[in-house]
Structure 1
Amino acid sequence: MSMKKTWFHHLECSTTQADELVARYRQRGVNVERSLNQDLISWTVSAYLPESKKPPCPARRWRNRMWGDHG
């Protein structure tokens, strides 16, 4: 039985963030798409990922200690 997959969207990414996300997903063999937003500055990166009953855990590099999220 195969896992159900769904598109997961990273919204309003900078060009650098979008490049990094696309590279990381492609390294893992994930189907990924990148599209320029209407503001012509930010990007949306969409990855076709398996669904999980647990919410996704954000990567440590995007956490901010100032917000109290020490992970």
Structure 2
Amino acid sequence: MKKSWFTHHGLTTSEANELVERYQSNGITVEKSLDVDPRLWIVNALLPQQKFAPKTQQSMRSRLWR
């Protein structure tokens, strides 16, 4: 399965640490780095990509969009 980097911007130290712990507990590769503002962090996670978008339920589709 193809993987790509997903980025979370503007996280506080506690938010970034919690996110890193959650990703690592699921066995996902994670990188944490400082943002331009030194009070904030950027967290990058290498996540699997889906080949197709998830299907929308029929009840959620408008007849006008067909």
Give the TM-score, by structure 1 length: 0.69
Structure 1 alignment gaps of length 5 or more:
56-71
Query: How many positions carry a matched residue from both structures?
Result: 53
Deviations 1:20-50 (A, max 9, x none): 0000000001000000111101100000000
Q: CA RMSD in A?
A: 1.3
Runs of 4+ in 1 over 4 A off after TM superposition: none
Cross-structure match for 2:34 = 36
- The one of the two structures with greater contact order (alpha-carbon pairs below 8 A, sep at least 6) is 2
Query: 1:54: how far off?
Result: 3.6
After TM superposition, list the pairs within 5 Å mapping 1:1-71 onto structure 2.
3-52=1-50, 53-54=52-53
Give the TM-score, by structure 2 length: 0.74
CA distance, structure 1, for counterparts of residue 22 and residue 53 of structure 2: 21
> Identity, % of aligned pairs?
47
Structure 2 alignment gaps of length 5 or more:
55-66
